[in-house]
Amino acid sequence: MLRFLTAGESHGPSLSVIVEGLPSGLAVREDELAGELARRRLGYGRGPRMRFEKDELRLIGGVRHGRTLGSPIAIEILNTEWPKWETEMSPHAGAPSTVLTKPRPGHADLAGMQKYGFDDARDVLERASARETAARVAAGCLAKALLARLGTSVLSHVVALGPEQADTGVRPGPADLEQVDASDVRCFNSEAERRMVSAIKAAAKDGDSLGGVVEVLVYGAPVGLGSHVHWDRRLDGLLAQAFMSIQAIKYVEIGEGAAGTARRGSDAHDAISWDAETGTYPRATTRAGGIEGGMSTGGLIVARVGMKPLATLNRPVLGTVDVVTKQETKSFKERTDVTAVPAMGVVAETMAALVIAGEAIRKFGGDSLAEIVRNHDGYLASLSDEPPSSAAAAGGV
Ligand code: EPS
């Protein structure tokens, strides 16, 4: 089982993540971790913090001489913001200089204050902040490293930003990731990229925010990850939960998602063929998003993840209530991004990688990387062999 747990506040001294369940012998490169953290800071429309935040990281457990030991891996990501926040965010007894009592509509502020018994929204917002995703991305980088050894790779690209959509006729492949990351909004279509950047500029001018949609693509996942046998083992269910756990996500689609529900059954599924050369059953289309009956089919896994516009506005216009005076007012202002959709794509990749790697570990077992790779390769080889003898004896159906 692959598990991870993060701790830390947005303006605290650091974020930490502990990853449990990775095999021994996996190469861990600090430059790869730093590279993934830098990818998460990408995107036109991010706030000033992303320009100076460097995500300085320290490997503090589970890795020796560049290889995992099979023990829990602990990573700390320092916040360069800490010196400015040391007093306000101090863990020692005392009182903050400012108390935030006017919760932002759409944010975790008010429900969190009521649930946990706080009168200061900062006690909620610091942990609700998407800063926490930096720690997830570090964990996801390790999951991606394992998947790479199994021939599986995950990527994302922005397909809608605010009102602007990208034509998704041509999907990026693993070799196109650099091109996607080089785009200001991580969009594979340069004409759409220009429209998206203009939309961000217009929203920024109005002190407003924008949401959007990313498509997550998993190439090379073997058939049979997840299972039909229990509700909580279905791969699509696991992915949906993982994507929904990302701050500000409001919808998830697998394959054609909502559009597929409007088709007739005869036009809504993926025809199966047989490729004797590879011993596989390719599907002609990706309508099911590479998942049937809660199991990966061996084809491309496709998911779309939709983010609402950020609730923090540079020009707050929605009404709220001061929780102390109960007077109607406008919310407090926090420094914010105009949009975080391009960065969210990297976080969605992370969550997909953690789920797929977790299911691969479950299926292929093993305490060392060599053992997992051996089990994986043996399983794939067995699939392309002759049909199971029981089916052959019965003449098939
Ligand atoms: C965030 C608000 C901004 C973002 C932050 C998430 O932080 P700050 O108020 O410090 O400028 O920059 O994102 C990150 C720090 C990050 O690393 O992604 C929020 O309210 O969620």
The whole domain housing 254 covers 3-380
Please indicate, yes or no, if residue 391 is contained in any of the structural domains. Answer: no
**Atom 12 of ligand 1 has which residue's CA nearest to it?**
49
Domain presence at residue 330? yes
Closest among 6, 26, 25 to 16, alpha carbons compared: 6
C-beta separation of 158 from 185 below 8 A: yes
The CA distance from 292 to 289, in Å, is: 8
The whole-angstrom distance between residue 156's C-alpha and the CA centroid of its chain comes to 9
CB atoms near residue 109 (< 10 Å): 29
389 CB burial (10 A radius; 0-12, 13-18, 19+)? exposed
Among protein residues, the one with the nearest Cα to ligand 1's atom 3 is 336
Which helix (H) or strand (E) segment holds residue 350: the answer is: helix 341-364
In a domain? residue 393? no
Beta carbons within 8 Å of 270's beta carbon, 6+ residues apart: 283, 284, 285, 286, 287, 288, 297, 299
Whichever domain contains 60, its CATH number is 3.60.150.10
Per-residue pLDDT, 396: 59
Domain count, the chain: 1
**What are the backbone angles phi and psi of residue 73, rounded to the nearest 5°?**
-100, 130
Residue having the nearest C-alpha atom to atom 21 of ligand 1 = 129
- pTM, to two decimals: 0.96
- The region that residue 339 occupies, defined by phi over 0 for left and psi between -120 and 50 for alpha, beta otherwise, is beta
Burial 298-320 (b: 16+ CB within 10 A, else e): bbbbbbbbbbebbbbbbebeeeb
Ligand 1 pocket (Cβ < 6 Å) reads 10, 47, 49-50, 53, 129-131, 134, 312, 334-337
Question: Does residue 83 fall inside a structural domain?
Answer: yes
pLDDT per position as a tens digit, 98-127: 999 999 999 999 999 999 999 999 999 999
pLDDT in tens for each of the 397 residues of the chain?
999 999 999 999 999 999 999 999 999 999 999 999 999 999 999 988 888 888 999 999 999 999 999 999 999 999 999 999 999 999 999 999 999 999 999 999 999 999 999 999 999 999 999 999 999 999 999 999 999 999 999 999 999 999 999 988 899 999 999 999 999 999 999 999 999 999 999 999 999 999 999 999 999 999 999 999 999 999 999 999 999 999 999 999 999 999 999 999 999 999 999 999 888 999 999 999 999 999 999 999 999 999 999 998 988 889 999 999 999 999 988 788 999 999 999 999 999 999 999 999 999 998 999 999 999 999 999 998 765 555 555 555 5
Residue 337: inside a domain: yes
52 within domain boundaries: yes
Residue 389 lies in a domain: no
**CA of residue 126 to ligand 1 center, whole Å:** 9
Kindly state whether residue 84 falls inside one of the protein's structural domains: yes
